[in-house]
């Protein structure tokens, strides 16, 4: 993690889902040695849990020493000896924390969780010590104030700007007493983020719906039943069936299980996670996080935490976010109401007489979809074996950018299920290493994400190429069948691969400019989803897992006709979560300790349909309370405006038009955070984005 990221440490520490032991002998610690592995990939087989804490402490010590030398440099402050030197500092700490943060998300355990609790405040203190060093800030400020008379390249100017702002936003201009309070808040926030994430992982793993009677499986596809039987064997419950709160288990159950009471039970368990008054309850944790964030923002001179965060995003201020969300909320709610009426009609048509509830929505949506479009997800899955979908994503990268992605068996991996690939550019040159980890495990948090074990940068004139990982929780192989994905999982694979390409194609000089604004970072990922369902692309990779037959045109037509089905529901559950996030982070003073009441009031204010549950309730809203999306969950829809508009450029010129692809690569993907996000977008598209393509795509344009 580059030092500029310490500005966000209380947020990033939420990924430290893991902990430690007695330090080993220094000579045996792999982090203190040069890695002789292919492409310098971490030697996972040599790294033990007990190596992390001593390496983190040594990395902190080394970075303190490096920063102290920069601050005490007798030479006059200059870009090279201050800004560039700061960017290069902390190499060892970057080396160890990149592995630690990634493993605690994808392969955690109790020992790592103890390390997390010890490491979080140490890392928080380091970030504060750098940003609040008056001697160091004086040098940074001197270079900043000399910018008008010195000549910098655009990338140097951007790094200078980001470095200066990180000090100011980190409290460099506060009084000593205010800085003392800021340090205390940052330390507490770092620990609260760890606690929130650990509570959620444990509560999610703790629940099992155990089914003993075969008749209670009625309606479920054969593959789902087989996966539940496999889960039961793992749980040492042979002859039974186990369903969990992991996505590949709960969502098929809610979509197909005829047993309404069991649907109610599992959805209730899901929506009550960390809200049960037990040791994993997150209500007071999230209250404290929200309160400290609000206080921190006020201390730094901002009305609310959202103002502090959004100043660095494309949105710039909360009113812009609310403006977009409200513009979409009204048509989405109207469509969702129409959808609810259709589901209620299906309930009556099937001879039932009860009110539509949240645990009924997915089940009856499947019935309506089948009736309207004759589209059966079970049939669709047969054409999307995981390996084929992966090849489809690689095919798109090849057609767009000329990339070749080849599996390598000599690259270290952190778990047997991980697969490793080398990525080469069109000219055959090495671009990076790509790891994939696609199935749920108890040590892996839920969801899907892309990350880096090593970021790209120029060091001593050499282009250091990245090591990138995609982590997901897809349906597992079962009953002798390969992993068969549904359309949502297909799009998720393409989505995360888009993030991966963003990292793999990056070509910048400074590690401190590797990140882009949160509401821009989803553009490269979400635009990739568009290719996933284009008929021209589907014909390449969607093959029946048994016969190898290409997906038939008839089925493609059904998928296309159903593409806007249930989009009211999908948009409402997402927008409600985005608005809830903004409400939590536009609090000007201390929030209500009644977190449930606050959430209920927020949803009542927008007219949330009782038949739809907000995508993330506050106690398990990890994105905003233990990850990097605080006051930023809106980013997905903001970026969808960008990706829908940007994809129109490809539709206008051709799906794989070389000039358009090269423009997107050169003006967006390669540039990292070296320029203003909107300026980068306009340089590609020639104008600001329009919201119309998004409304059309989601079926929200009222006729």
DSSP characters over 309-348:
HHTTSSS-SHHHHHHHHHHHHHHHHHHHHHHHHHHHHHHH
pLDDT interval class at 18 (50, 70, 90): very low
Whether the predicted pLDDT of 603 surpasses 70: yes
Average pLDDT for residues 308-313, to the nearest whole number? 97
Non-local CB neighbours of 52 within 8 Å, separated by 6+ positions: 20, 96, 99, 100, 112, 115, 119
How many angstroms separate the CA atoms of 657 and 274, rounded?
Answer: 48
pLDDT tens, residue by residue, 287-299: 999 999 999 999 9
Non-local CB neighbours of 148 within 8 Å, separated by 6+ positions: none
Q: What is the pLDDT of residue 17?
A: 26
Tallying the residues shown for the chain, one arrives at 703
pLDDT interval class at 15 (50, 70, 90): very low
pLDDT interval class at 492 (50, 70, 90): very high
Higher pLDDT, 24 or 655: 655
User: Percent of the chain at pLDDT above 70?
Assistant: 96
- Let me know if 449 is exposed, middle or buried by CB neighbors in 10 A (0-12, 13-18, 19+): middle
Q: What is the pLDDT of residue 696?
A: 87
Tell me 475's DSSP state.
Answer: P
Output the CA–CA distances (angstroms, integers) from residue 24 to 30, 48, 104, 109, 556, in the order listed. Answer: 11, 10, 20, 19, 58
The neighbour count for residue 398, using CB atoms within 10 Å, is 14
* 8 A C-beta contact, residue 620 and residue 200: yes
How many angstroms separate the CA atoms of 340 and 296, rounded?
Answer: 42
Average pLDDT for residues 525-543, to the nearest whole number? 96
Whether the predicted pLDDT of 21 surpasses 90: no
Whether the predicted pLDDT of 463 surpasses 70: yes
How many angstroms separate the CA atoms of 248 and 474, rounded?
Answer: 6
Whether the predicted pLDDT of 7 surpasses 50: no
Longest alpha-carbon distance in the chain? 85
Average pLDDT for residues 688-696, to the nearest whole number? 89
* 8 A C-beta contact, residue 66 and residue 89: yes
Start-to-end CA span in the chain (Å): 49
For the chain, domains (ranges, CATH) are: 3-200 (1.10.1370.40), 207-271 (no CATH), 303-375+562-628 (1.10.1370.10), 381-515 (3.40.390.10)
Residue 568 tokens read as 């009211």
Backbone φ and ψ of 172, nearest 5°: -60, -30
Q: What is the pLDDT of residue 3?
A: 58
Whether the predicted pLDDT of 323 surpasses 90: yes
Tell me which of 489, 496, 573, 599 is the catalytic residue: 496
Q: What is the pLDDT of residue 519?
A: 95
Q: Is 496 a catalytic residue?
A: yes
Average pLDDT for residues 387-405, to the nearest whole number? 98
Average predicted confidence (pLDDT) for the chain: 94
- Let me know if 357 is exposed, middle or buried by CB neighbors in 10 A (0-12, 13-18, 19+): middle
The percent helix, strand, coil of the chain (3-state, each to 5) is 60, 5, 35
* 8 A C-beta contact, residue 479 and residue 123: no
* 8 A C-beta contact, residue 196 and residue 289: yes
Tell me 72's DSSP state.
Answer: T
Output the CA–CA distances (angstroms, integers) from residue 55 to 22, 77, 119, 132, 370, in the order listed. Answer: 12, 31, 11, 24, 56
* Strand 457-459 relative to strand 462-464, pairing: antiparallel
pLDDT tens, residue by residue, 561-599: 999 999 999 999 999 999 999 999 999 988 889 999 999
How many angstroms separate the CA atoms of 300 and 169, rounded?
Answer: 7
Tell me 590's DSSP state.
Answer: P
How many angstroms separate the CA atoms of 12 and 7, rounded?
Answer: 9
Task: Report the predicted TM-score, pTM, of the whole model to 2 decimal places.
Answer: 0.93
Average pLDDT for residues 394-417, to the nearest whole number? 98
């Amino acid at each position: 993690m580059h030092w500029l990221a310490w500005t966000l440490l209380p947020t990033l520490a939420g990924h430290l889902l893991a902990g430690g032991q007695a330090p080993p002998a220094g000579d045996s610690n792999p982090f203190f040695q040069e890695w002789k592995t292919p492409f310098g990939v971490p030697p996972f087989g040599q790294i033990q849990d007990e190596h992390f804490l001593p390496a983190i402490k040594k990395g902190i010590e080394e970075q303190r020493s490096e920063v102290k030398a920069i601050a005490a440099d007798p030479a006059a402050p200059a870009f090279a000896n201050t800004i560039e030197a700061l960017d290069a500092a902390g190499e060892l700490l970057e080396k160890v924390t990149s592995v630690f943060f990634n493993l605690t998300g994808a392969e955690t355990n109790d020992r790592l969780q103890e390390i997390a609790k010890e490491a979080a405040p140490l890392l928080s203190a380091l970030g504060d010590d750098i940003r609040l060093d008056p001697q160091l800030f004086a040098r940074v400020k001197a270079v900043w104030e000399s910018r008008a008379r010195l000549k910098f390249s655009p990338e140097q100017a951007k790094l200078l700007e980001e470095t200066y702002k990180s000090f100011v936003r980190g409290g460099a201009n506060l009084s000593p007493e205010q800085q003392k309070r800021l340090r205390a808040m940052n330390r507490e926030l770092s620990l609260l983020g760890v606690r929130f994430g650990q509570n959620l992982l444990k509560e999610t793993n703790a629940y099992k719906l155990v089914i003993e009677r075969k008749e209670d499986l009625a309606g479920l596809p054969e593959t789902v039943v087989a996966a539940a039987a496999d889960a039961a064997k793992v749980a040492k419950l042979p002859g039974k069936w186990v369903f969990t709160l992991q996505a590949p288990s709960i969502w098929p159950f809610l979509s197909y299980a005829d047993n309404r009471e069991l649907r109610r039970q599992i959805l209730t368990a899901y929506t009550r996670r960390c809200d049960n008054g037990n040791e994993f309850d997150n209500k007071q944790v999230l209250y404290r996080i929200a309160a400290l964030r609000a206080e921190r923002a006020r201390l730094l001179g901002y009305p609310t935490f959202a103002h502090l965060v959004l100043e660095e995003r494309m949105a710039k201020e909360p009113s812009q976010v609310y403006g977009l969300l409200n513009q979409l909320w009204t048509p989405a709610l109207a469509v969702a109401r129409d959808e609810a009426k259709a589901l209620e009609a299906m309930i009556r048509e099937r001879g039932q007489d009860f009110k539509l509830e949240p645990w009924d929505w997915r089940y009856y949506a499947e019935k309506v979809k089948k009736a309207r479009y004759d589209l059966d997800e079970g049939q669709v899955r047969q054409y999307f074996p995981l390996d084929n979908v992966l090849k489809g994503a690689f095919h798109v990268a090849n057609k767009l950018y000329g990339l070749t992605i080849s599996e390598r068996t000599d690259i270290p991996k952190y778990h047997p299920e991980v697969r490793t690939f080398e990525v080469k550019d069109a000219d055959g040159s090495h671009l990076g290493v790509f790891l994939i980890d696609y199935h749920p495990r108890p040590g892996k948090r839920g969801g899907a994400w892309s990350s880096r074990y090593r970021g790209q940068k120029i060091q001593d004139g050499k282009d250091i190429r990245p090591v990138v990982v995609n982590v997901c929780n897809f349906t597992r192989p079962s009953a002798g069948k390969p992993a068969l994905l549904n359309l949502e999982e297909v799009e998720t694979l393409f989505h995360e691969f888009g993030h991966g390409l963003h990292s793999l194609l990056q070509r910048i000089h400074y590690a401190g400019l590797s990140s882009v604004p949160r509401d821009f970072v989803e553009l490269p990922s979400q635009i990739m989803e568009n290719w996933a369902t284009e008929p021209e692309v589907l014909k390449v990779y969607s093959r029946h897992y048994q016969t190898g037959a290409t997906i038939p045109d008839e089925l493609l037509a059904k998928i296309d006709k159903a593409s806007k089905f249930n989009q009211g529901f999908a948009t409402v559950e997402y927008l409600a979560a985005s608005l809830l996030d903004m409400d939590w982070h536009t609090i000007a003073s201390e929030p209500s300790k009644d977190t449930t009441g606050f959430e209920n009031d927020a949803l009542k204010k927008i007219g949330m349909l009782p038949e739809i549950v907000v995508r993330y309730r506050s106690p398990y809203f990890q994105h905003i309370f233990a990850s990097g999306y605080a006051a930023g969950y809106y980013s997905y829809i903001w970026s969808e405006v960008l990706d829908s508009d940007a994809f129109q450029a490809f539709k206008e010129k051709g799906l794989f038009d070389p000039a358009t692809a090269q423009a997107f690569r050169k003006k967006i993907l390669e540039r990292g955070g070296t320029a203003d996000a909107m300026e980068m977008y306009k340089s590609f598209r020639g104008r600001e984005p329009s919201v119309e393509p998004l409304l059309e795509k989601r079926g929200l344009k009222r006729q």
